[in-house]
Amino acid sequence: MMNYSLLLVDDERGLLDVLELALRKDGFQNIHTATTGIEALNKIKTQTFDLIILDIMLPDIDGLEVCRQMRTQINTPIIFLTAKGTDMDKILGLTIGGDDYITKPFNSLEVIARVKANLRRQQFIANAPKMVEEKRFYLNNNVQVFEESGEIYVDETLIECPAKEFELLIFLCNHPNRIFSVRQLYQKVWGDFYLGDEKTVTIHISRLRKRIEADPKKPSILVNVRGLGYKLILKDKEQKN
């Protein structure tokens, strides 16, 4: 627990002393305090905290507003501490960005238990495997290709596509604006030695054009470079909105 940095915000110095003493006895050593909202907001600009205990009734800015401003800068867990105990106060506090709520008078052991629970939750989130955003290709303004899920959307409509056609499209998406001969495409996508039959590749290109081109007879995505082969036109391989 000694590695965690805590910020306690309350205008009652005696209450801060009680909380700080209880937390230190439980192993928390890196503890900071503030008696006003302005002081608390200034502290988060220069220091990093793992958890904040925030009183709602402060002399300058109420704790709810302090929380709102903090949430524009940090995601640190915030436990509200207040003498108010109505359901609406609790709901409002949690809605504007609080993570937990303790009402006065309180038992120091309860506060410590809440602190530990929120720190464990935060640690779990930090250590959880991050979801990797699926690779997406924007072929133009209305065609999107999702590599991992094997999906093609045209004007937000899912388009069916056989596996080998999709493999060919993904290969070209991953190598945009580069010309490949029929021989190269056959070997890269089908993985077989090229025997001189162009029909397999050209038929798959033709089918893909019918799925993704606005006018398959005048393709603007899968284009033919006469005498050299095919290439997929893509300004940015992975564009984002």
Q: Tell me the CATH number at 189.
A: 1.10.10.10
Predicted local confidence at residue 237, as pLDDT? 43
Tell me which residue of 133, 138, 172 sits closest to 149, measured CA to CA: 133
Helix (H) or strand (E) holding 184: helix 182-185
Where a domain ends, among 82, 104, 127? 127
| pLDDT for res 66 | 94
Last residue of a domain, one of 97, 127, 157: 127
Return d(Cα 136, Cα 148) in angstroms, integer. Answer: 9
Q: What is the pLDDT of residues 155-195, one digit of tens each?
A: 888 988 888 889 999 999 999 999 999 989 988 888 766 55
pLDDT of residue 108: 87
Residue that finishes a domain, picked among 102, 127, 152: 127
Weakly modelled stretches of the chain, pLDDT under 70: 1-2, 84-93, 125-134, 192-198, 235-241
Q: Are residues 22 and 75 in the same domain?
A: yes
Interacting residues of 34 by C-beta distance below 8 A, sequence separation 6+:
7, 8, 9, 40, 43
The helix (H) or strand (E) run that includes residue 88 is: helix 87-95
φ, ψ for residue 157, nearest 5 deg = -105, 130
**Distance of alpha carbon 55 from alpha carbon 46, whole angstroms:** 21
- Within a domain: 239: no
Which pLDDT score is estimated for 133? 58
What pLDDT was estimated at residue 185? 92
The whole-number pLDDT of residue 148 equals 83
Taking the C-alpha atoms of residue 20 and residue 28, their distance in angstroms, rounded to an integer, is 9
Tell me the whole-structure pTM to 2 decimals: 0.54
Please indicate, yes or no, if residue 160 is contained in any of the structural domains.
yes
Total number of domains in the chain: 2
Same structural domain, 81 and 177: no
Indicate whether 215 and 167 sit together in one domain. Answer: yes
Long-range contacts of 16-19 (CB under 8 A, 24+ apart): 18/108, 19/53, 19/108, 19/111
Task: Look up the domain containing 53 and give its range.
Answer: 5-127
Do residue 146 and residue 226 come from a single domain?
yes
Contacts of 58 (CB under 8 A, 6+ apart): 9, 10, 11, 36, 37, 66
